[in-house]
Structure 1
Amino acid sequence: MARTSRGEETTVRVSVLGTGAMGAGVAQSLLRAGHDVTVWNRTVERARPLGEHGATVVDDVADAVSDAQVVMLTLFDTDAVVDVLEQAAGDAPQDAVWVQASTIGVAGTETVVQLAGKYGITLVEAMMLGTKAPAEQGKLTMLVAGADAPVSVVDPVLDAVSAKVVRAGDRVGEGTALKLAANAWIASITAATGQSLAIAAALGLDPQLFLQAIEGSASDSAYAHTKGAAMIARDFPAQFALDGLRKDIGLITDAARGAGVDTTLLDALGRVYAEASAAGHGGDDIAAVGTAF
């Protein structure tokens, strides 16, 4: 039986649509918390391993949502979210709450909000801040936006997958805005770590000395140590795929430009991550951006 942060025991019927690294991790955390989880993925073979953990695996998206109280959209991009909504909107219970958890940017979110209105869907946002391991461990930070009543329905789901919930606002789209700002920081600090390690090595130093130098200082960052260690070892098992962050950098750049924010740094980040992807690291962890230096 799942238990909320307020100590209440409740089980929620949750459908997770999209079982990539993040969706699969979220599903595992929901199952561990005792929720009734149904999973669907366009390529059903990617969802089948979750059946061994107790999930119901279906190969038809309409079947996946037919009995859901909460539907989580953990998909790659706007096209995927729109496609799933078009296919399944009429098959979910009328009182189901749909949770948009895919990073699809400002314009994509506006499109999904319009579709939700068209189909009478109750929609909230819960952007996932974290990578594969925190998703699997139930330690994500969730950036939530939407009306109070539907957000309260998904509280047990948020409790199961997160270490922290940040309320971004009452309007769907405000969670996306906060996620874009946070991912701009992640993209920047990861690339900056790679640059500093490369400079240290090129000037004849052990690059590990850079991490030792910042350790414990005001400029220290746990992320720099995590990704820096991977860069030094040149070992990049994907926690957050580089091409996924490349996609997000494009969304961030579009949003910044549309809001009148200078994109000089974002443009440079886009080029650096593109170079790493072109060198064959698109499916590797974002730490592989260090290879571009």
Structure 2
Amino acid sequence: MKVAVLGTGIMGQGVVRTLLREGHDVTAWNRTRDKAEPLVGVGATVVDTAREAVDGAEVVVTVLFDGEAVLSVLREATSAVDATAASGAEADGPVWVQASTIGAADTARVVDLAAERGVPLVEAMMLGTKKPAETGKLVMLAAGAPDLLARVQPVLDAMGAKTITAGGSVGQGTALKLAANAWIASVTAAAAQSLALTRTLGLDPQLFLDAIEGGQADTPYAHLKGASMIAGEYPAQFALDGLRKDVSLMREAATAADAGFGTSLLEALAGLYGTASDRGHGGDDIAAVHAAFTS
């Protein structure tokens, strides 16, 4: 399929490479072109504007940092098609796959803008980090009209090891992604705490990982992030400031839902990731939350 990928940061780069490897024709755009230029060497077409990228595409995938970025790009790339919605005609342009974690409120704004512009829209949140994006092993958390999801399924199949359909309305995939990332934020911070506590109490922190290995409390994720924490090396697979943003979105969504949900753990996580970011680790991997437990 002819696919446009808008946004070539850590995840976008991996998505482009995976789609190319799976035989898709990919055009890439990034607001800072230099970040997209290396993709020319692996077969992508890199263009200067989002409008150019979506021209002729069957599927458009947005992999951007926040809601304002998604809204801005959607406006820039679709400003010529708003008459479609006004006429009530069925849009025949590309299906837009919103894959950026932007929270519930901004997702609702994107849905409204897409409807105004006559843009067929689904969402497919990406559960995973840099390596799964590069190897097509993400878990795709999809939502939207079934017929539109069927049209983009070959792209989702290329990007992910499996697709979980959260529902028929755009926004339900976002809800599931926030819940999943709450788990990621929690288990990463918990591993950091236990490793730091082990060291504080005078033991080799590796002993903590050895103790849980193979037991009911074990998870491969603890060993993956734990090795990085012990080494004190944090090459970004999922940037800490990105997860910090997501925790803020979780708090906003939970508060807006007004269902008596207790946010005490989310408040604690916001503080921990904020401390690590303030100590200079915002661009490092989320394993750098370990710095919040050390002086």
The TM-score normalised by the length of structure 2 is 0.94
Further displaced range: 34-43 or 156-165: 156-165
Question: Conserved in 2, the CA contact under 8 Å of 1:13 and 1:36?
Answer: yes
Partner residue, 2:170: 172
Paired residue type of 2:208 = F
Partner residue, 2:24: 35
- Distance in 1, Cα, partners of 2:68 & 2:56: 24
Partner residue, 1:9: none
Partner residue, 2:113: 115
- Distance in 2, Cα, partners of 1:49 & 1:101: 22
Alignment partner of 1:236: what SS? coil
Partner residue, 2:274: 274
Partner residue, 2:41: 52
- Distance in 1, Cα, partners of 2:151 & 2:33: 28
1:95 Cα deviation from its structure 2 partner: 2.7
Q: Name the % identity.
A: 61
Alignment partner of 2:273: what SS? helix
1:89 Cα deviation from its structure 2 partner: 1.2
Quick one: which of 73, 91, 104 aligns to 2:62? Answer: 73
1:218 Cα deviation from its structure 2 partner: 1.0
Q: Which runs of 4+ in 1 moved over 2 A?
A: 90-95
Alignment partner of 2:56: what SS? coil
1:118 Cα deviation from its structure 2 partner: 0.4
Cα shift readout 1:224-277 (whole Å, capped 9, x = no counterpart): 110011000001000000000000000011111222311000001000000000
Partner residue, 1:151: 149
Paired residue type of 2:273 = Y
Question: Conserved in 2, the CA contact under 8 Å of 1:65 and 1:91?
Answer: no
- Distance in 2, Cα, partners of 1:66 & 1:178: 31
Partner residue, 1:25: 14
Partner residue, 2:87: none
Cα shift readout 1:10-52 (whole Å, capped 9, x = no counterpart): xx00000000000110010000001000000000010000110
Partner residue, 2:237: 239
- Distance in 1, Cα, partners of 2:8 & 2:217: 36
Please list every run of 5 or more consecutive structure 2 residues that lacks an aligned counterpart in the other structure. 82-90
Partner residue, 1:195: 193
Alignment partner of 2:253: what SS? helix
Partner residue, 1:134: 132
Alignment partner of 2:122: what SS? strand
Number of paired residues?
Answer: 282
Partner residue, 1:248: 246
Cα shift readout 1:169-228 (whole Å, capped 9, x = no counterpart): 111000000000000000000000000001111111111111111111111111111001
1:125 Cα deviation from its structure 2 partner: 0.5
- Distance in 2, Cα, partners of 1:198 & 1:277: 17
- Distance in 2, Cα, partners of 1:144 & 1:188: 23
1:168 Cα deviation from its structure 2 partner: 0.6
1:159 Cα deviation from its structure 2 partner: 1.0
- Distance in 1, Cα, partners of 2:43 & 2:181: 32
Paired residue type of 1:64 = A
- Distance in 1, Cα, partners of 2:250 & 2:194: 24
Quick one: which of 205, 208, 214 aligns to 2:206? Answer: 208
- Distance in 2, Cα, partners of 1:53 & 1:45: 15
Question: Conserved in 2, the CA contact under 8 Å of 1:47 and 1:57?
Answer: yes
Partner residue, 1:5: none
RMSD across aligned C-alpha pairs, in angstroms? 1.0
The TM-score normalised by the length of structure 1 is 0.95
Quick one: which of 92, 95, 104 aligns to 1:94? Answer: 92
- Distance in 2, Cα, partners of 1:257 & 1:199: 32
1:94 Cα deviation from its structure 2 partner: 3.3
Please list every run of 5 or more consecutive structure 1 residues that lacks an aligned counterpart in the other structure. 1-11
| Cα pair distance change 1:71/1:284, threshold 3 Å | same
Alignment partner of 1:217: what SS? coil
